[in-house]
A and B are shown apart, each in its own frame.
Chain A
């Protein structure tokens, strides 16, 4: 029972074996503020250099952000907690490896935008 080298306890039910913030080195706040759930991430034209000390998770974000993608989708597709993704995005932003487009007008969309949404929903 004990000492099983195959770690029977570490099945899917057990959840992640590595604590989630291990990939951020224990940091729980991103280096910069922001990163709304529906902010868009897009990899910049700069390729990451070998001296930038990136984790595989950083590279995974760059890989799926070749086309712009929302922060929520980055977290869902990489199966990482949102808070972790935000820390990693902060690193990438500081390193100039991604661009972030915050949803500037989300709070006060104008009438034309609302009409476009209604028409778009009707047409679905």
Chain B
């Protein structure tokens, strides 16, 4: 897709950086936007997608009665790794009926961070199901809200019935360091899966 049209005029122009996409998923109010904001170098931006009649027919839009257009907002942030490489973090829309937007977000994504709240653990089931079915690598971050009882990562892993190789980390979505640790765990998990696939393939 990155064809010759990019280089037609002026090869002295700097090439745009390569961008990797990481998704931040989880239930409503679990801290997705907070996490994006904690690690992003820019104030989180918002893109909107208007669901029009064009989406109907390919997607299940039950619940979206009007063809006139429902607006779904997606927050995103950016981390510049170096001049050739940027990481974009996209918060996924919370509502289940916007799955087709997830498909767009997940296309070409490096992987996902699923945020979980132990007080409402079931809220992250749809995200986990989605990434498992799609084969998208993910890690689970257990956001430790004040006043919530602490559980060990293994207890959460059992409760979520996760594969043993899926990293589970306790985190604080407000903390930059904590967010960085989640992203590092995800990228290392992706690398490990890659190595495993090469060995067994």
Contact = CB atoms under 8 A, between A and B. Distances in A.
Interface string A18-38: 011100000011000010111
A114 B194 contact: yes
Contacts of A122: 180, 184
A103 to B, nearest CB: 5
Contact of B16 (A82, A101, A120): A101
A115 B81 CA distance: 11
Interface in B108-135: 108-110
A81 B50 contact: yes
A120 B19 contact: no
Contact of B54 (A28, A103, A104): A28
A72 B108 contact: no
B18 A76 contact: no
Contacts, number: 138
Contact of A83 (B49, B105, B195): B49
Contacts of A82: 47-49
B160 interface: no
Nearest to B191: A114
Interface in A61-107: 68, 70, 72-73, 75-77, 81-84, 99-107
Contacts of B29: none
Contacts of A59: none
A76 B74 CA distance: 10
Interface residues of B, number: 54
A76 B79 contact: no
Name the interface size band of chain A. Answer: 35 or more
B56 to A, nearest CB: 11
Interface stretch (A1-9, A39-47, A50-58): A39-47
A116 B85 contact: yes
B19 A103 contact: yes
A117 interface: yes
B110 A106 contact: yes
Contact of B15 (A21, A101, A114): A101
Contacts of A49: none
A124 B69 contact: no
Name the 8 nearest CB pairs between A and B, nearest first: A120-B81, A40-B16, A76-B45, A68-B16, A38-B19, A102-B1, A28-B54, A106-B108
Interface of B: 1-2, 5-6, 8-10, 13-21, 39, 45-50, 52-54, 68-69, 71, 76, 78-79, 81-82, 85, 87-88, 90, 104-105, 107-110, 176, 180, 183-184, 187-188, 190-191, 194-195
